[in-house]
Homo-oligomer: A and B are copies of this chain.
């Protein structure tokens, strides 16, 4: 289906950073995609690729006061044979619209979003880094712009996609991280917006993360806000544990995000005939499994890090070391397979890879 996406090319291309200086979300490409929503003009209009540029917002724009916003994250890879591919992008557009519904925001045409992304990436394809572990991070985001201070959903929005060449998420490679199990702060609770990818969830999580980092831990493990004992997420990732040969991850309970990497890991495990369960997992169960020697591996999953092995939990001053603090065998296999499928180096039996410009 053809949409009228206009393209205005930049007159001044930026210089590209060296692959070893990329980091995460520090550099942006030459162009961006932008589209307006105005209820008074019939909805979404003026989809366009334009030079990367500042946005002009009225100081009363609702995003600045009432936080109505949704974002997504995905990665584009340059394959060895020179093609460009994305990983399950349709899932991101589906989730974007689920988040929109929760935040009282108007849905986006998923085909148009996909076409917009393809146009933008093709325009900026020279920015896709090719070194091991690098990719072009894609950040679609939508936010409220109507300049009214009444607390009600906005009648005007911007949908924007920006691109950022990124290095490996953890500079040191996929070494296991140390985790602080959070007892004071809560990320989200069922009935809230924890299952939507909205800005406020991330702002709310920063305090615990900063305090944990100050104590030398890499990330926070979130417990549920009701019983304060069931595992929710780790940092901004979903989390998996291998206990006695079986892989478990918290069930979607209304307060955790429905991760696309989470879903892919479960499909991969089933494909390998590794038993996997979605269910409630208490922090006590993990400590008990550790005591009886059945807690074998643990890892977080998310678009940015893909797979992040967990080496250590710390809960009420009791340290729990997982797998001798080394990356588990299954964790490594998942990481290698998923990143391999993502960058086109490993066969994709699931049809997850989507080639662009084909």
Residues of A within 8 A of B (CB): 23-26, 28, 32, 52-60, 63-69, 71, 102-104, 137, 139, 141, 143, 147-153, 160, 162, 164, 184-193, 198-207, 209-210, 225-226, 228, 235-236
Contacts and interface: CB of A to CB of B under 8 A. Distances in A.
Copy number in the complex reads 2
B64 A54 contact: no
A137 B205 CA distance: 31
A210 B104 contact: yes
A228 B198 CA distance: 24
A67 B203 contact: yes
A191 B198 contact: no
Given A71-B65, A102-B207, A226-B225, A192 B202 contact: no
Nearest to A54: B56
Contact of A25 (B60, B187, B198, B199): B60
Q: Which label, helix, strand, loop or mixed, suits the secondary structure of the A interface? A: loop
A150 B149 CA distance: 29
A158 to B, nearest CB: 9
B64 A63 contact: yes
B203 A69 contact: yes
Given A25-B150, A202-B67, A104 B192 contact: no
Nearest to A222: B191
A71 B66 CA distance: 9
Complex A-B, nearest 8 residue pairs according to Cβ-Cβ distance, in ascending order: A200-B200, A25-B149, A67-B199, A186-B191, A66-B202, A67-B203, A189-B189, A189-B225
